[in-house]
Amino acid sequence: ATNRTPLMAGNWKMNLDHAEAIAAVQKLAWTLKDASHDYSAVEVAVLAPFTDLRSVQTLVDADKLDVRYGAQDLSAHESGAYTGEVSGAMLARLGCTYVAVGHSERREYHAEDDGVVNAKVKAAFGTGLTPVLCVGEGLDVRKAGDQVSYTLAQLDAALEGVPAEQAKSVVVAYEPVWAIGTGEVATPEDAQEVCGAIRARLAELYDAELADGVRVLYGGSVKSGNVAQIMAQHDVDGALVGGASLDPEEFAKIVRYQ
């Protein structure tokens, strides 16, 4: 859509140990390089488990791969007595570009509310990472027809107090919870409705120019067979891909969606 560089980001979730991660990134890069298709206009990223990141960094640096990487979560805190947490600064030191914030699985299983998500967005920006802010409604909300207002309320809360200087580089991923890992993909029209509303809200919160530059991704059961229709929507600038990103050949097909 327009002049925004599409971003295809794979969310591995709790899959692939560090050795498997190396093989997956190598195969992904190889498949992309090998293809006759020009994918250079698309940005590719993997969001890996923390324990994979050092290995992925070493590989990407050594082979100068055109693949970005990041984590699936970060601490809201800077440092100190937070046993088990990983800071944004630690991730930045490992060369991470992105970090997912507010994924529905974090919100659901780790009680991350809007306040926590807002603090994590600020922590990401504060350490030079680009947050991939995940928003989206559950099935009950969708059935009630309230998906736009619900998702925009999450967006408002996540960006509260975030200055335009930072917000201009946020990536927003619209991920309807009922479509995540269910095989049930939103229709292209459903994706456009909410992604368009997200961009319009960014224009209200900031300004039209900022909103025009922000990438809004769709996530939820994206596969090589359905990605093209979704990417054809005006306000969809890429995909956050869970299950299908674990197979490098399938993920490469998604990257070459055209």
> Using CB under 6 A as the criterion, which residues of the chain lie in contact with ligand PEP when the complex forms?
11, 175, 180-181, 219-222, 240-244
Active-site entry in 43, 103, 112, 137: 103
Quote the CA–CA distance of 102 and 113 in Å, as a whole number: 8
Chain centre to alpha carbon of residue 62: 25
| CB nearer to ligand PEP: pick between 49 and 220 | 220
Q: For residue 226, say whether it is annotated as part of any ligand binding site.
A: no
Minimum gap (Å) between residue 132 Cβ and ligand PEP = 9
Query: CB of residue 220 vs ligand PEP: minimum separation in angstroms?
Result: 5
Half-sphere exposure of 166 (CA within 13 A, CB side): 20
Smaller CB separation from ligand PEP, 193 or 210: 193
243 marked ligand binding residue: yes
**CA 195/CA 17 separation, integer angstroms:** 33
Q: How far is the CB of 117 from ligand PEP (least distance, A)?
A: 15
Query: Closer CB to ligand PEP, residue 88 or residue 176?
Result: 176
DSSP state at residue 83? T
Beta strand ranges found along the chain (DSSP E): 7-11, 43-47, 68-71, 98-101, 130-135, 171-174, 215-219, 238-241
For residues 7 and 216, what is the distance between their CA atoms, to the nearest angstrom? Answer: 9
- Would you say 12 is a known binding-site residue? yes
- Contact indicator for 213, 237 with CB cutoff of 8 Å: no
Catalytic one of 105, 137, 175, 193: 175
Pick between residue 118 and residue 221 the one whose CB is nearest to ligand PEP: 221
Catalytic residue check, 234 = no
Smallest distance from ligand PEP to CB 23, Å = 20
Catalytic residues: 103, 175
